[in-house]
Amino acid sequence: MDSQAASTKPKRNRNHWKRKNKSATDEATPAASPAPAKVPMPKKLKATPAPEILPASEAVGPPPAPARESTAKSIVHLSDVSFKSLSISKESAQALSDVMKYDKMTKVQNETLPIVMQGKDVLAKSKTGTGKTMAFLLPTIETLAKTPRHGNEILALILSPTRELASQIDVEAKKLTTFHKNIPVACMVGGTSMSKDLRKLQQPQGFAILVATPGRLHDHIKNDTGGMQGRLRHVQVLVLDEADRLLDMGFRDEIERILSYLPSARQTLLFSATLPSSLEDMKRLALKKNYEYVDTVGEEDQTNAQVNQSVIVCTLEEHIVALESLLLEHIAASPDGYKIMAFFPTARAAGYMAAVFEKAGFPIIEMHSRKSQSHRTKVAETFRQRDNLIMFSSDVSARGVDYPGVSFIVQVGLTDREQYIHRLGRTGRAGRDGEGILLLSEFEKRFLKDLVDMPMTTRPVPPTSATSRVASVVQRCAVDKALTQAAEQAYQAWLGYYNSNLKRLGLTKDRLVSMAAEYSVVVGLAEVPALQKKTIGKMGLQNMGLRVADYAPPAQNRGQNQNRGPSQGPPRSQQGPPRSQPGQGNKAAAHKPQGHLNQPPSHKRRN
C-alpha cells in the first residue's frame, strides 16, 4: 500500500459544521458554557502514559501487501451459464468480455435477465452484492440499442437512493456502453454543482441514460432545467434500484412527481432487497398490472452464510479500547492484506472516532453524510481499489455500494435488524468469506432479541494493550481543540440518537442523561457539553440536569438530505465568534425552493 496515500486524510468540507440537521440526533455543534453540570461525572478512561503516536504512514499492521484480486476464489453466487448464451448486441458482448472481464452470469443475473430482456415489467427481490446492477443495466442498454434516438432525448432513467450508489451505476453503465456509438450516459446527484448538470444538458448529443438521485432530478424537473420535463417524455426504461431504501429515505413524494412526467408506455424494473408494505403504492403506480415477480432470495435470511458473526458486550468505558483491540487483532491475522469497515450510530460518532484512531496511527478514511460529495466520491474510489485501509462510516455505506474484498465488519452500538443485515452485507460478497462483530454496551443488550435467529456467537471482551495508543489520544482531548469539538458533537448526537430509542432499550430519560455524562468522559471531555435550550426542548429533556448554553448560536443554513448536498456558506474563520446577530433572520429560507411544480397529469395505474 502506498503509505503516503494511506496517511493523507481528505480535507473536511470547510462548511460542513454549519449544517443543521432535521433531528436532534446530529444537530449543530454544542456550545461550551461555564454553568456547572448537575450530573455526576464518572471515572476517567484509564490508560498508561502515552507512547509515541505513529503517523499514519507508519500505521499499525503488516507490511504493504499486493492488492487482492476482486474475483473471489470460490464464488458461490456464480452460475454455470455464460453471457454468450444471451442474444445481445456485439457491442455489449465485447464490453462484457474485453472491458468488464465477465464470462459467467451470477445466479441473480441468470434468473432475471431472460425475463427482463423480454421487455416485461419486473419486480425483483435481490440481495446486494449478487450482480443485480448488471441485471438491469444490460437489458436497458440492449433496449436502447434497438431504439432510434432523436436529438437529446432521455431514453432510460435509473433512480438510486444515494450519491455513492448512483456513481457506481454510472461507472458500470459507461463501461458497458464503451462500444455503443449513441448511448451516452450521465449522472446527476445532490452535493454537486447544478451548473455542471446544466453543461451536460446543453451538450448537443445530450445523454440517452440518466442515473440520478430523486432529490436532484426533482430539482431539475421543478426548474425545467435544459428542458428536463420534455426530455423525460421519451423514457423507454425506468429502473428503481434499492426501492425499499428510496422509500426509507423519504423520497416517496419526489418519485411520484417524477413518475408523472414519464410516458406510460415504458418498461419498469423495480429492484428491492426487501418488500415492505410501504412498497405497495409504488408498485401500483410504477408497474403494469401484469408485471413479473422474481424472487432470488426466497425465505432465507438475507445475511450471507459465509460470514462469521459474533457479538461482544462490554461497558461503555471499554468501547473504544475494545474496538482498537479488534482492529489490531484482525490486522495481525491478515498478512495478505485487510479491508475493514466500522459502522457507528451517527455521522458525528464516525467523525470523532475517525479523528481519534487516525491520530493513533491507524490508516483511517471517513465516509458519512457530514462529508462533502467530492470527498465521499474520492474516498469510495480509494477504498474500492486499495487494501490495508479502514473505513469509519455511518449508514451512508450500509448497502448498495460495492467495495470488493472487505474482510471485516465491526458495528459499534445500537442499530436495527435491517441495518445490521445490510451492514454485514458489505463483507462476504460474491461468495467470499468474511467476519462481522457487533460491539454493544450492557444497556444495549435488548437489541439481541431482534437477532435471535442469527447464527451469532458470543465473544469475550478482547484483552486491551497496556499501552493503548487510542486511550492516550482520548486523554489528550482537552488540549486538542479540533478533537474537543468533534467529541462535543459526538456527545450531542449520542444523546439525540439514544433518546429516540428509549423504549427499545427500556431506559428512563434521567438514566439516559446520566449515561450521556459517562459517554462525555469516554470521549475525553473535561466536562459535560452545554446544549442549546431549543435542542433540549426538541429532545424532551428539560429539567433533567443537562447544561444549557447561555447564548444563542448565529443563524445557520438548513442542511439538506444527503442526496442534495450541504448548504454552502463562508468559511468559519470569516464568521466571527458565535453570537446573536440583530435582524439576521433565518437564512434557511434562502435555500427553500421557490414556486411550485407545473401541474402534472394525475397518477393512474399503468395498464
What is the three-class DSSP state of 246?
helix
Same domain, 99 and 208: yes
> pLDDT tens digit string along 361-382?
999 998 887 777 778 778 888 8
Same domain, 363 and 340: yes
With contact defined as beta carbons under 8 Å apart, do 453 and 421 qualify? Answer: no
Identify the CA nearest to 305 among candidates 73, 104, 80, 77.
Answer: 77
With contact defined as beta carbons under 8 Å apart, do 413 and 286 qualify? Answer: no
Same domain, 520 and 394: no
Phi and psi at residue 382, to the nearest 5°: -60, -45
Same domain, 396 and 544: no
Could you tell me the residue range of the domain that residue 488 belongs to? 476-550
With contact defined as beta carbons under 8 Å apart, do 88 and 109 qualify? Answer: no
Residue 218 counted as domain residue: yes
Same domain, 286 and 318: no
Residue 150 counted as domain residue: yes
* Bridge-based pairing state of the strands 292-295 and 156-159: unpaired
> pLDDT tens digit string along 280-325?
888 888 999 889 988 887 544 445 556 788 999 999 999 999 999 9
- Residue 444, pLDDT > 70, answer yes
Residue 121 C-alpha cell reads as 415489467
Total length of the chain: 607
Q: What is the DSSP string of 526-545?
A: SSPPPB-HHHHHHHT-TTSS
Same domain, 373 and 503: no
- Residue 562, pLDDT > 90, answer no
Choose one of 271, 295, 319: the last residue of a domain. Answer: 295
Identify the CA nearest to 384 among candidates 397, 396, 400, 402.
Answer: 402
Q: What is the mean pLDDT of residues 575-582?
A: 36
Q: What is the mean pLDDT of residues 495-514?
A: 93
Report the 3 state secondary structure along 45-61.
CCCCCCCCCCCHHHCCC
Same domain, 227 and 109: yes
Cα 443 to Cα 257: distance, rounded to the nearest angstrom: 43
Residue 232 counted as domain residue: yes
What predicted TM-score, i.e. pTM, was given to this entire model? Answer: 0.52
Residue 245 counted as domain residue: yes
Per-residue model confidence (pLDDT) at position 400: 53
Beta-carbon contacts of residue 280 (< 8 Å; ≥ 6 apart): none
What stretches of 236-346 show up as alpha helix (H) in DSSP?
243-248, 252-259, 280-286, 319-332
> pLDDT tens digit string along 236-255?
999 999 888 888 788 889 99
Cα 106 to Cα 79: distance, rounded to the nearest angstrom: 5
Residue 171 C-alpha cell reads as 461507472
For the domain that residue 455 is a member of, what is the CATH number?
Answer: 3.40.50.300
Q: How far is CA 345 from the centre of its chain?
A: 12
Q: How far is CA 415 from the centre of its chain?
A: 14
Same domain, 491 and 522: yes
Residue 31 counted as domain residue: no
What is the three-class DSSP state of 145?
helix
Cα–Cα distances in Å, from 14 out to 194, 333, 350, 355? 20, 38, 17, 16
* Helix or strand (DSSP H, E) at 293: strand 292-295
Per-residue model confidence (pLDDT) at position 426: 76
Residue 499 counted as domain residue: yes
Cα 376 to Cα 378: distance, rounded to the nearest angstrom: 5
Number of domains in the chain: 3
> pLDDT tens digit string along 384-408?
888 999 999 987 654 556 677 888 9
Residue 518 counted as domain residue: yes
Same domain, 394 and 452: yes
Q: Which residues pair with 271 in a beta bridge?
A: 124
Same domain, 187 and 207: yes
Same domain, 378 and 427: yes
Same domain, 480 and 461: no
Cα–Cα distances in Å, from 79 out to 83, 106, 133, 226? 10, 5, 16, 44
- Residue 423, pLDDT > 50, answer yes
Choose one of 550, 578, 594: the last residue of a domain. Answer: 550
Cα–Cα distances in Å, from 405 out to 126, 225, 363, 409, 520? 20, 40, 17, 11, 35
Choose one of 550, 583, 599: the last residue of a domain. Answer: 550
Largest CA distance in the chain: 74
Residue 595 counted as domain residue: no
